Structure 1
């Protein structure tokens, strides 16, 4: 009996290996799982709206379920950072805790968003208000003082 051996072209094997690495590699799956396929992606990055007016900027973050005492706002090195952290509540006695039969929403434990602010923003006058799950920050622009008109005499 004669055995016939077929050699696969190296380029076809390399391309097949590349495709396999892209779609079957755990790194690709892990990136999708960590970022987009879990609720944690949207929980860790609350949605934001930013508006600009002639007198300043307004930033709105959608952060329902947080107490205003848990939210921290910090301005440092031209960066505005908004963060919150919450300890997970646990029953003191596990035997007395009710059995959970369904869980469709999780407890958000933290979030952090940072924004670059320019020289126009007056960091000393930033105001924040939390109402109905929306954190609203008002970032006023610095007042521009125009120099008084000066007549120059030609000599």
Structure 2
């Protein structure tokens, strides 16, 4: 068996010259690159003394498009959005379909109170507030120095 050292700096493989260039030109084409965009929305997760906050950026949707569920210690946020645009041009009808869906799942800490989770959707951002259980809240007290 022969080991061949991989050199990421070198574009062409010595075994198949030009092979990588073909892939780069095809996959770098705007037709493909536009479709390779990550379809998962960005998420911010914050923690305060009283609760956890999850903010999910999903503009262009309605609150009815979301499904938020909790099963055991898993919080699942999913959506399926379908839209259809019809444009009449001259003697033919052009249809453009758009369907986007995603599912994000988060493992909840034991300190989260799943019975009091609240959600709101404002200005394209889904916001979830996950209160902490009473015993898990940060307790602050002054310690006397002797």
Q: Compared with structure 1, are the counterparts of its residues 69 and 18 closer, same or farther at alpha carbon in structure 2 (3 Å cutoff)?
A: same
Q: How does 1:20-59 map to 2 (within 5 A)?
A: 23=20, 37-38=33-34, 40-42=36-38, 44-59=39-54
- Counterpart of 2:9 in structure 1 is none
Normalized per residue, the structure richer in strand is 2
User: Normalised by the size of structure 1, how large is the TM-score?
Assistant: 0.61
> Higher Cα Rg: structure 1 or 2?
1
Q: 1:70 aligns with which of 62, 65, 77?
A: 65
Normalized per residue, the structure richer in helix is 1
Checking the alignment, whether the CA contact within 8 Å between 1:88 and 1:109 is kept in structure 2 is no
RMSD of Structure 2 on Structure 1 (CA): 3.9
Aligned pair count? 122
- Counterpart of 2:109 in structure 1 is 118
Measured in 1, the distance between the counterparts of 2:17 and 2:108 equals 42
Q: How does 1:139-154 map to 2 (within 5 A)?
A: 139-144=130-135
Q: Compared with structure 1, are the counterparts of its residues 20 and 47 closer, same or farther at alpha carbon in structure 2 (3 Å cutoff)?
A: same
Q: Which runs of no fewer than 5 residues in structure 2 stay unpaired? A: 6-13, 137-146
Runs of 4+ deviating beyond 3 Å: 14-21, 23-26, 37-41, 90-94
